[in-house]
Amino acid sequence: MKLTPGKRKGLEIISNEDKVVIATAMDQRGSLGKMIQSHNEDLSYEEGISDFKVGVSEIIGNQSSSFLLDPEYGWDAAKKLNEDVGLIMAYEKTGYDANEKGRLPNLVDFYAVQDLARKGVSAIKLLVYYDIEEEAQYNDIKKTLIKRVGDECKYNDILFIFEPVSYNSQSDTSKDTDFIRRKPEIVKYFMKEFSKLEYGIDLLKVEVPVPLHNIEGFSNYENYNPAFSVEEASALYLECSELTAIPFIYLSGGVSNDQFVETLQFAKNAGAKFNGCLCGRAIWKEVVKTYAKDGADAQYQWLNDTGIENLKKVRKAIDESATPWTHYID
């Protein structure tokens, strides 16, 4: 794989000196607003989200190689980032319309890729919910949108990060055993399909094929529901890694800090050639309640202590397990 000058510059900016991505995700909107208001109904939705992001950006963002925000509530937080921290911007609206079938994505209002590029963004991130067993018409709509965003990023010579997220289109839950068993096939599809040149994707942000709590022997983690042996899961990690022709990083998927760190180690032991991570809630989720109940000062104290410690654990795991993206790029 070769990158144009602008795209390569973007990848270098969002990575550390070892060509590995250690990014923090802070583009949550709807879910974050609900979490904050569940602890303090007096905080306004908009002010709470924006203010919370500022603290995480200033403390955690500036200790990361790059920071993911959204253009709806994230500009104040972006101002807190040092010049050497890459800025990644989400291009999709938060969530999806639960009343409509297919979890179809929508792009943010008021910003095109060219607008974000002019504001100094290093990379564009697009999240799309996807199930390979969804009706073809919905998946075709999603593929077309991905190509459109890919073309926008090509035209503006800016790095395009794509985040396909698996979901169960046949049921309201993704926790039943049948879906857990077929999820690796969905992740395999992501790795192979979205490596194709027609999408213009430069970096994949993906789920692990099997979370640790779905592997035999990891009963210490919440939601333990073993559906794979260690040997089966290891083979799936390796197979998914070998199916892609472009760099990829893992998302944390809302698991605990300890579980995500051990997941990275498991992936390394399985032989997966992943190129870093984009980790959010595994670093800062616990401070949402602190912020909502006790305010920004308490939030900053937690971030400077526990938050930084959480990030250090992730960084150490990445240093010990990730492969430089030069493995995929000339």
Per-residue pLDDT tens digits for 199-232:
999 999 999 999 999 999 999 999 999 999 999 9
CATH topology of domain 5-327: TIM Barrel (3.20.20)
The residue to which tokens 């890919």 are assigned = 150
Dihedrals φ, ψ of 193, to 5°? Answer: -65, -45
Q: How far is CA 184 from the centre of its chain?
A: 18
Q: Strands, DSSP E only, in the chain?
A: 21-25, 66-69, 86-90, 123-130, 159-166, 203-206, 248-251, 276-279
- Tell me the sheet residues that pair with 25: 68
Domain extents in the chain: 5-327
Given a cut of 90, is residue 330 above it in pLDDT? no
Burial letters 54-82, b for 16+ CB under 10 A, else e: bbbbbbbbebbbbbbbbbbbbeebbebbe
What are the structure tokens assigned to 133, written together? 């067993």
| pLDDT tens-digit series, residues 31-79 | 999 999 999 999 888 899 999 999 999 999 999 999 999 999 999 999 9
**pTM as predicted:** 0.97
Given a cut of 90, is residue 122 above it in pLDDT? yes
Contacting residues for 309 by C-beta, under 8 A, at least 6 apart:
none
Cα separation of 121 and 89, whole Å? 7
| pLDDT tens-digit series, residues 9-35 | 999 999 999 999 999 999 999 899 999
Cα separation of 176 and 300, whole Å? 38
Question: Per 3-state DSSP, what percentage of the chain is helix, strand, and coil (rounded to 5)?
Answer: 50, 15, 40
Q: What is the pLDDT of residue 75?
A: 98
| pLDDT tens-digit series, residues 142-183 | 999 999 999 999 999 999 999 999 999 988 777 789 999 999
